Amino acid sequence: MINLELGSKHQETFDKLRMMAEHMMRPYSRKYDREEHTYPKEMEEVAKILSSNRPIASAKSDPGAKGVRNGANLLSVTAYEAMCWGDVGLMLSLPGRGLGNAAISAVATPEQLKKFGGRYAAMAITEPGAGSDSANISTTAVLDGDEWIINGEKIFVTDGEHCDVVVVWATLDKSLGKAAIKSFVVEKGTPGCEVTRLEHKLGIRASDTAAINFSDCRIPKDNILGNPEVAKNAEERKKAFGGVMQTFDNTRPPVAAMAIGVGRAALDLTREILGREGFELSFDKNPINSSSLEAELTRMEAEWNAARLLVQRAAWMADNKMPNSKEASMCKAKAGRMGNAVTLRCVAMCSSLGYGENELLEKFARDSKILDIFEGTQQIQQLIVARRVLGKSSSELK
């Protein structure tokens, strides 16, 4: 059974990262928000500290462990929450911590993990004609001897400019639909792989968002993640694409944890700003005796706690080898919605101080919006949850 409190080691990690977020990330928030697309060199030092402090091994690394495990997945969401209390964009720009790393960790062979596990990996799925419908992608991969030839265009690739490798979703045969979709690791600098533009964005400006074009891009045959064979019957095809989509079960809880972090940041700063005017939130009052301001803050605190517990549950299930597709989508839907609603309301509650650039509240609100969109929109998460609850397939419930 899940414990509703973090274990001592996870809590210790959270406290250290929260301190790092306050003293090594927030001081640069405004600088890199204004200097969009400028590489945040100061984050290299943060990445070094993180790489030298890995106190908890993953469940994979301890196959003989028995009983309930709080491992790498719970540690991951704990870390994302702490660092995004500092700055979401800077956290996303940390060298070696791209969204593609989760995909590599989930399905790579031991040889691939050795080759790519320590590289800074971006994830390239979205295309001009395929967004939330990831099964409709048209980027192709054709086997030619000992190489795959990749052709297509990917957009909205987080950290696509600064990453070392890109995990690219491509189809082996468009006529076979989602069953033929596989993921490939493309090293930056490979001929035929070109960043064509960087997007100007509402938030997370410290993190680059790129469009990448693949034109006869050749990569080694071994750079395909997972089984290279296309399933022959409907049942096998369903399972094959399910394996590809399982990547999202690993990446959605961390993205949800980012929303938890920025939501907490907004609530903390709002209480600090209001506290300067003599306001203090107390949870021991009877609701009928609370002011409208106290009632609203209390409600937002409750929403935040509910989202955080959903995130921790999804991560804990992954650590304990439990299927968590529904829970991963539930926590992403709840946390994404909560983060955006809370940060925007905090801006309004603090009036001109919330809207101006003297405080970070308006930046928290801008950064929060993408967390409700990428790794699957709010609507897509609700659709996935509905399918799981009702026992419907994607063709039965669209």
Enumerate the active-site residues: 375
The DSSP 8-state label assigned to residue 129 in this structure reads T
CB 327 within 8 A of CB 317: yes
Q: Which residue has the tokens 């983060």?
A: 339
Helix/strand/coil for 216: strand
CB 205 within 8 A of CB 196: no
The number of beta carbons lying within 10 Å of the beta carbon of residue 5 is 9
Helix/strand/coil for 141: strand
| Burial class of residue 390 in the structure, from the number of CB atoms within 10 Å of its CB (0-12 exposed, 13-18 middle, 19+ buried) | exposed
Write the CA distances from 392 to 184, 370, 383, 385, integer angstroms. Answer: 30, 28, 10, 10
Phi, psi torsion values for 200, nearest 5 degrees: -90, 130
What is the pairing mode between strands 209-220 and 147-158?
antiparallel
Q: Which residues contact 216 (CB under 8 A, 6 or more apart)?
A: 149, 151, 192
Take residue 338 and report the two structure tokens written for it: 């909560």
| Torsional sign, CA 17, 201, 297, 333 | negative
d(C-alpha 290, C-alpha 139), whole Å: 56
Residue 208, amino acid: D
Write the CA distances from 294 to 197, 332, 387, integer angstroms. Answer: 46, 27, 38
CB 270 within 8 A of CB 296: no
| 234-275 and 100-107 helices, crossing angle to 10° | 140
The number of beta carbons lying within 10 Å of the beta carbon of residue 55 is 10
Helix/strand/coil for 195: strand
